[in-house]
Amino acid sequence: MQGEKTAAVIGLGSMGWGAAHSLLKAGFAVHGCDLRPDVLQRFADAGGKSCTTPADAAKAANVIFVFVVNSSQAEDVLFGAQGALATATLGTVFLLCTTMAPSATISIAERLEAAGMLVVDAPVSGGHLKALSGELTVMSSGSDEAYARAEAALDAVSAKIFRLGDRPGPGSQVKMINQLLAGIHIAATAEAMTLAAKNGIDLKTLYDVLRVSAGSSWMFENRGEHIVSGDYTPRSAVNIFVKDLGIVTSEAERAGATTPLAATALSLFIEASDAGFGLEDDAAVVKILARKSGAILPGMEGRG
């Protein structure tokens, strides 16, 4: 082990990269794992230790952040042939930052704990810029011992840590509700921008008015700017909300709850994914509504 401030980050996407960068700034020795050679080279250039397998990243870490896309990937990077559990030291804290169904989080946590590890259910919110600045919001749950051992690492990546329970599960439940609102707000932003374009309203002017008015939301402020500029470079992709709103609707059905707005937003994200926009920024859901409305938006000319 390389002292008390050694962390691993498995998955160097937009959120994982930002968290790893924040840990480096806080003085941690950071072992980063990703499938993409160019990302690993960039991470090494930034001062991190690049690892090609989770097992390699985990063997020198006190805390391990998991920032992969879904529960299937989480199981693979933790329990697969080159998974982190194969080399992690007993008592290592695993921070499960992946947005997963609460039932999946609980199942994974139980397997880790049975192997002698500590777990914090720790999904995050704030976007890639907040991740880079170490100002994420963490919706977490876990034991006092796990929090104590992970405190410095959590502080390095976050501005606010909500402790929602003493067992994994509640963190993922709250993140699920956050994603319900986030997905609906992105879809609502897309609908508003499409209607404005169809009525000949200048989108930049509209954006400037609404972002300081009662109809605004964090997602409108953030994704609305993407639509105004026609920039669909993925920060969070359409396919992420196909997954996350799928979790919302399936867990709601299991609980006997009705979520008509989430179901409608999910259908739009699925349609956007099927149309070939799945890897674009999630604001690209607007292209589906624009197509149906006959509206032309920035960045769509000749491609819509």
Question: What percent of the chain stands above pLDDT 90?
Answer: 95
> Which amino acid would we find at residue 60?
A
Could you read off the pLDDT of 168-212 as tens digits, one per residue?
Answer: 999 999 999 999 999 999 999 999 999 999 999 999 999 999 999
Cα distance between residue 185 and residue 58, in whole Å: 37
Q: Which of the two residues, 2 and 220, has the higher pLDDT score?
A: 220
Question: Could you give phi then psi for residue 199, rounded to 5 degrees?
Answer: -95, 10
Q: What is the pLDDT of residues 142-164, one digit of tens each?
A: 999 999 999 999 999 999 999 99
Which pLDDT does position 192 carry in this prediction? Answer: 98
What integer is the mean pLDDT of 232-255? 96
Q: Which helix (H) or strand (E) holds 42?
A: helix 37-45
Residue 2, pLDDT score: 41
Res. 302: pLDDT tops 80: no
User: What residues does 93 pair with on adjacent strands?
Assistant: 63, 118
* R_g of the chain, CA atoms, integer Å: 20
The one-character DSSP state at 33 is E
pLDDT band, residue 3 (cuts 50/70/90)? very low
Q: Which pLDDT value is given to residue 207?
A: 98
The angle formed by the CA atoms of residues 66, 138 and 237, to the nearest 5 degrees, is: 60
What pLDDT was estimated at residue 1? 39
Q: Picking from 27-41, 137-151, 290-304, which range would have the lowest pLDDT averaged per residue?
A: 290-304
- Check residue 128 and give its pLDDT: 87
Q: How far is CA 160 from the centre of its chain?
A: 16
Please report which confidence band the pLDDT of residue 301 belongs to, taking 50, 70 and 90 as the band edges.
low
In angstroms, the CA 247 to CA 5 distance is 34
> What is the pLDDT confidence band of residue 60, given thresholds at 50, 70 and 90?
confident
Residues in contact with 273: Cβ distance below 8 Å, sequence separation at least 6, in sequence order: 238, 239, 242
Instruction: Determine the 3-state secondary structure of 203 from DSSP.
Output: helix
Terminal Cα-to-Cα distance of the chain (whole angstroms): 52
Residues near 98 by Cβ (< 8 Å), separated by ≥ 6? 11, 66, 67, 68, 69, 70, 71, 73, 74, 123
Note the pLDDT of residue 68: 97
Amino acid at the residue 14: S
Q: Which residue, 281, 275, 297, is CA-closest to 232?
A: 281
The whole-number pLDDT of residue 127 equals 87
Quote the tokens at residue 65. 């952040």
Which domains does the chain carry? Answer: 6-168 (3.40.50.720), 173-292 (1.10.1040.10)
pLDDT digits 0-9 by tens, 35-44: 999 999 999 9
Residue 299 confidence (pLDDT): 84
CB-based burial label for 258 (10 Å; 0-12, 13-18, 19+): exposed
Residues designated catalytic:
175
Mean residue pLDDT of the chain comes to 96
Q: Is the full-model pTM beyond 0.85? A: yes
Tokens of 18: 């930002």
Residue 303's pLDDT band, with cuts at 50, 70 and 90, is very low
- Residue carrying the six token digits 């396919």: 239
